[in-house]
Amino acid sequence: MEVTLRRTTALVARNNNTLWRPTTLAAAATATLDVSNTTNSRPFSLSSLSRPPPNYPGHVPLTRIEKAALAIGSGVMSLRDPRRGDLIAAFAEATATPYFIYRLRDAMLASPTGRRILRDRPRITSSSLNLPHLRSLPPTTVGGTYVAWLDREGVSPDTRAHVRYIDDPECAYVMQRYRECHDFYHALTGLPVVREGEVALKAFEFANTLLPMTGFSVFAAATLKRSERGRFRETYLPWALRNGLRAQEVINVYWEEQLERDVGELRRELGVEPPPDLRNIRKKEREERRRQKEQEAAGQSAGTAV
């Protein structure tokens, strides 16, 4: 199990930039346990267990042991380095089954809009959204707010990893849709991509989607600075839980159809109130620290002159 864990997480890290390509994860795990492969069945650990074929392009079928190893390894390593999006993505997929991703899929099936999204299966990319057109929209629209947030934070909708470890094709799309809508949640709430903002948004997402990865990510609050931890505990965590629980299922928003709508109107419809402007708060803190340093330097210079 320890060797499988180490090799599984190493393969996830090595495939950081690979999208929708079958990996050698299964073969590595099989070789670790010293089990011979066959051309047709590729058994894992017991002769009675055979690995099924992929269910969609890029799908990597995993046994329960492999999936547990992937969850533990990617979870531990992503806590050590929260910037590793590939590990966070792998952990999300390994822990979403057997219940949580099906619950989210059922929430979409229970909504007329969610059912249309599942039928149409749209993808969110810079080309599908036509970012130049969004930049021409008024800043108060959903599209204008979204693209302004992308430009301010320096991020792109084209960087989301493709789902590989969820067996059910429809549920795999649900995870992909959640992943690609993440930046819309940022824009809707105004939270920046700094670690403090990401933790606050993950708390909101956990209350709204119940995906284990989002709840696990909240533990990254322990890595924040003392002042940031206090602000998260007193302001942003209560906001996230209150709004995430009372808001409609944000997975059911057909963002592509809301781009020219007033963003305030959509927030009210969903039941989401924007939190205090975190970027502005952090800017004021930096200015205050700089002012204090300048005053201290001026005081030291005056003392030296005397």
Report the pLDDT value the prediction gives residue 294, as an integer from 0 to 100.
78
Same domain? For 103 and 7 the reply is: no
How many domains does the chain contain in total?
Answer: 2
Alpha carbon distance 276, 242 (integer Å): 14
End-to-end CA distance of the chain: 70
Question: 1-60: per-residue pLDDT in tens?
Answer: 444 444 444 444 444 443 333 344 434 333 333 333 434 444 444 434 567 889 999 999
Of the candidates 146, 219, 230, 221, the residue with the CA atom closest to the CA atom of residue 182 = 146
Binding residues for Zn(2+): 182-183, 186, 198
> How many beta carbons lie within 10 A of that of residue 66, not counting itself?
26
Same domain? For 25 and 142 the reply is: no
Same domain? For 181 and 217 the reply is: yes
Alpha carbon distance 68, 91 (integer Å): 10
Q: Which is more confidently placed, 211 or 298? A: 211
Q: Which range among 26-30, 48-52, 216-220, 270-274 shows the weakest confidence by mean pLDDT?
A: 26-30
Report the pLDDT value the prediction gives residue 7, as an integer from 0 to 100.
44
Reduce the DSSP state of residue 94 to 3 states and report it: helix
Report the pLDDT value the prediction gives residue 119, as an integer from 0 to 100.
97
Q: Which is more confidently placed, 116 or 73? A: 116
Q: What global pTM score does this model have?
A: 0.79
Question: 136-176: per-residue pLDDT in tens?
Answer: 999 999 999 999 999 999 999 998 889 999 999 999 999 99
Report the pLDDT value the prediction gives residue 45, as an integer from 0 to 100.
47
The answer to whether residue 92 is domain-embedded is no
- Alpha carbon dihedral 28, 33, 39, 42, in 10-degree steps, equals -90
- Percentage of the chain with pLDDT > 70? 81
Question: 100-113: per-residue pLDDT in tens?
Answer: 999 999 999 999 99
Alpha carbon distance 40, 7 (integer Å): 24
Binding residues: 182-183, 186, 198
Whole-number CA gyration radius for the chain: 22
Give the residue numbers spanning the domain of 69: 2-75
Instruction: Kindly state the tokens that stand for 237.
Output: 């965590």
Same domain? For 20 and 125 the reply is: no
Instruction: Kindly state the tokens that stand for 269.
Output: 């419809």
> How many beta carbons lie within 10 A of that of residue 200, not counting itself?
25
Same domain? For 167 and 243 the reply is: yes
Alpha carbon distance 181, 214 (integer Å): 14
